[in-house]
């Protein structure tokens, strides 16, 4: 019996290694190269590989270039064998995304949403909006892994309590009360943290990084060697509350001078009552009041970024929906950052996210994708 138990364990290890090599490899793999990389016989490889293919997790994806004789069939995972949903909660909307196992976007939708009305019971719960999103998808519901949910606030270590979300005006709210009865497994995380993890995932790099999320709530994440650093109280990366102007603008956290009121898109909306598209069109047309506000935002952002750099000494990646508009102004931002950096003249360590569009809901979806791949 003990021998049989070891055999099952050995088979699960081989199965897992096959899948992980195919999942992580940027090059095509064949049965022969898999067997050599894992160090197993061809019959053992075929047995495990056939199981994965029968389950719809692995497929033949083409032919390798022939060096004479029969061409070898290459293999790959089936990206849409499973999918995950990400939900980004803000004070004005819900953003839904469906993503496959490689975090490729399958569908996206935004719906208006009033969080406080939801808690009062006068509007549908988030669960009802998720159900509607799923019903519109041309995807097999049985392949759904779960729904990751991000909130612009502090979440408890067990991810069951929303401690404080200033822009949502919520404090000490049980996650279940906010979400309702969800039709699938759920995981709740801070929006900046989830976005930073997604950025690290798509870069496939074990590097040190500070991710700064520029959405209505300004936050972020710290990645050390590709792994998240949460801090002692799960509050690492709260960059939105770095003081950039002592005694300055009122922040939703109750303090004054935080980065968030200076660099949140809400500042533009409150000042001019226009969308980001309209604002940046006005900047392109050299409207003085629009340009003045943008350069003030960039200056304060530069103060925060240089402080992060002095503290963490790593690359700083900007993401979130505001960052989608900032590429033409990166040289200006880098000059502001350099002004606060005594060690280098060029702040080329300031970069934009590779996933600026929809990165927050995609970061939410990533949790269940990682869980599936790690436990296969």
Q: State the Cα–Cα distance between residues 237 and 55, nearest whole angstrom.
A: 40
Sequence-ordered alpha helix ranges (H) in 219-326: 259-263, 265-272, 276-284, 288-312
Domain residue spans of the chain: 2-77, 82-195+362-374, 203-352
In angstroms, the Cα distances linking 29 to 49, 56, 65, 203, 268 are 12, 17, 12, 21, 50
Same topology, domains 82-195+362-374 and 203-352? Answer is yes
274 neighbors 293 (Cβ within 8 angstroms):
no
- Fold category of 203-352 in CATH: Nucleotidyltransferase; domain 5 (3.30.420)
Nearest of 51, 55, 60 to residue 22 by alpha carbon: 60
Q: Measured between alpha carbons, how far is 179 from 155 in angstroms, rounded to an integer?
A: 14
- What CATH number does the domain located at 2-77 have? 1.10.10.10
Q: Per residue of the chain (376 residues), what is the pLDDT tens digit?
A: 344 444 445 778 999 999 999 999 877 789 999 999 899 999 999 999 999 999 999 999 865 554 554 566 799 999 999 999 999 998 889 999 999 999 999 999 999 988 888 877 777 889 999 999 999 999 999 999 999 999 988 888 888 899 888 888 888 989 888 888 899 999 999 998 899 999 989 887 778 999 999 988 899 999 998 888 888 888 899 999 999 999 999 998 899 999 999 999 999 999 999 999 999 999 999 999 999 999 999 999 999 999 999 999 999 999 988 999 999 999 999 999 999 999 988 899 999 998 877 999 999 999 999 999 999 9
Assigned CATH class of 82-195+362-374: alpha beta
Q: What's the CA angle centered on 26, arms 99 and 36, to 5 degrees?
A: 120
């Amino acid at each position: 019996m003990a021998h049989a138990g070891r055999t099952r364990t050995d088979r699960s290890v081989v199965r897992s290694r096959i899948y992980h090599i195919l999942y992580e490899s940027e090059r095509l793999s064949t049965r022969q190269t898999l067997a050599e990389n894992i160090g197993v016989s061809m019959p053992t490889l075929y047995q495990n590989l056939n199981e994965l293919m029968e389950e719809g997790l692995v497929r033949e994806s083409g032919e390798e270039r022939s060096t004479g004789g029969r061409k070898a069939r290459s293999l790959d995972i089936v990206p849409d064998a499973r999918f995950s949903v990400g939900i980004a909660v803000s004070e004005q909307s819900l953003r839904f995304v469906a993503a496959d196992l490689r975090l490729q976007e399958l569908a996206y939708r935004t719906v208006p949403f009033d969080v406080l009305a939801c808690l009062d019971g006068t509007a549908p719960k988030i669960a009802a909006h998720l159900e509607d999103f799923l019903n519109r998808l041309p995807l097999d519901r049985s392949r759904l892994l779960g729904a990751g949910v991000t909130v612009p606030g502090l979440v408890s270590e067990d991810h069951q309590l929303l401690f404080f979300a200033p822009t949502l005006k919520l404090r000490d709210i049980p996650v279940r009360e906010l979400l309702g009865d969800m039709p699938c497994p759920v995981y709740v995380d801070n929006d900046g943290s989830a976005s930073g993890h997604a950025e690290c995932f798509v870069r496939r790099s074990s590097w040190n990084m500070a991710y700064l999320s520029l959405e209505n709530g300004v936050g972020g994440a710290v990645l050390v060697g590709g792994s998240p650093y949460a801090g002692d109280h799960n509050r690492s990366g709260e960059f939105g509350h770095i003081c950039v102007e002592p005694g300055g603008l009122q922040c939703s956290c109750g303090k004054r001078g935080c980065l968030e009121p200076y660099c949140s898109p809400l500042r533009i909306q409150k000042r001019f009552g226009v969308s980001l598209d309209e604002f940046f069109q006005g900047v392109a047309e050299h409207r003085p009041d629009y340009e003045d506000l943008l350069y003030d935002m960039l200056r304060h952002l530069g103060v925060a970024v240089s402080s992060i750099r002095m503290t963490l000494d790593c690359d700083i990646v900007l993401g979130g929906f505001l960052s989608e508009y900032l590429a033409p102004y990166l040289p200006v931002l880098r000059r502001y950052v350099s002004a606060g950096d005594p060690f280098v003249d060029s702040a080329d360590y300031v970069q934009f996210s590779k996933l600026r569009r929809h990165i927050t809901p995609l970061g939410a979806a990533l949790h269940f994708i990682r869980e599936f791949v790690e436990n296969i």
